[in-house]
């Protein structure tokens, strides 16, 4: 699943995803690229009932997952009954269609 890259500040060690021009903590500009692990735990989530035009679904679950190596990312949660702290496995899959084009993004399913 190494389709995403996180960034670790070479000065203070803060891990960020996505990339920022400056470190959010110490404001330095030098980073080391790191690949998140494939598994993590659900930190928080929300259920979106009213999605924008173009989505043919209701109740999409979006959540923040912390990977085992500390990287945090937002993605679509593909679990029947999500629970804070549950173990999830990351994937990179189609998250919507725009016309006849698939749009890919981060997805998480129970590990």
Q: Can you read off the two tokens belonging to residue 102?
A: 């698939």
In-domain check, residue 1: no
In this prediction, residues 74-102 reach a mean pLDDT of: 92
In a domain, 84, yes or no: yes
Residue 90 located in a structural domain: yes
Does 37 fall in a domain? yes
Q: How far is C-alpha 26 from the geometric centre of its chain's CA atoms? A: 23
Q: How many domains does the chain have?
A: 1
Q: Is the pLDDT of residue 13 over 60?
A: yes
Residue 78 placed within a domain: yes
Name the residue range of residue 105's domain: 6-110
Going by C-beta distance under 8 Å and a sequence separation of 6 or more, which residues neighbour residue 57? 51
Closest CA to 73 of 27, 10, 19, 11: 19
Distance CA 83, CA 86 (A): 6
- Number of alpha carbons in the 13 Å side-chain half-sphere of residue 85: 0
pLDDT reading at 63 higher than 90: yes
Q: Is residue 104 part of a domain?
A: yes
């Amino acid at each position: 699943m190494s389709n995403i890259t996180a960034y670790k500040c070479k000065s203070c060690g803060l891990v960020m995803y996505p990339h920022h021009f400056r470190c959010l903590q110490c404001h330095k500009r030098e980073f080391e690229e790191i690949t998140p692990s494939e598994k993590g735990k659900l930190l928080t989530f929300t259920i979106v009932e009213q999605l924008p035009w173009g989505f043919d679904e209701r109740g999409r679950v979006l959540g923040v997952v912390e990977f085992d190596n500390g990287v945090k990312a937002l993605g679509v949660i593909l679990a029947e009954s999500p629970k804070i702290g549950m173990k999830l496995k990351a994937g990179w899959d189609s998250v919507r269609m725009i016309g006849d084009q698939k749009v890919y993004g981060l997805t998480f399913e129970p590990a």
